[in-house]
Amino acid sequence: MSNFGTLSAKDRAAFLQTSSNLGLDPYEFGALVHQESGFNPNIVGGEGGNYYGLIQFGRPERTEAGLDPKKIGNYTIAEQMPHVEKWLRGRGFKTGMGIDQAYATILAGNPNA
């Protein structure tokens, strides 16, 4: 979590709250978020530049997560973390499943992939 120390207090608190809500070790969850986005909530990447945010939501996934299309590019970590949690839960991730299932959900769409 090399960028974690540079986060605002509000962003750190939101990240830690989401980690707790999901039952994930914050260091492991931080490594996952760092791998996906470097903790940049507005990063665009992936194939064709079609992925956005902390966990690189695809276009349909942004809708599932409830991200506001008008706000894309202007989210803070604190604002985006509830959407990360909502999306993971919507795809079947349950509290305490573990980091492997969280990453499977992000990469393949469900925790059992």
Render pLDDT for 51-86 as a digit per residue (tens, 0 to 9). 999 999 999 999 999 999 999 999 999 999 999 999
Output the pLDDT for position 8: 95
- pTM for the whole thing? 0.94
d(CA 57, CA 37): 10
User: Cα–Cα distance between 42 and 31 in angstroms, integer?
Assistant: 18
Question: Please, what is the angle between helix 77-90 and helix 99-108, to 10°?
Answer: 90
* pLDDT given for residue 4 in this prediction: 58
Band of pLDDT at residue 6, cut at 50, 70 and 90: confident
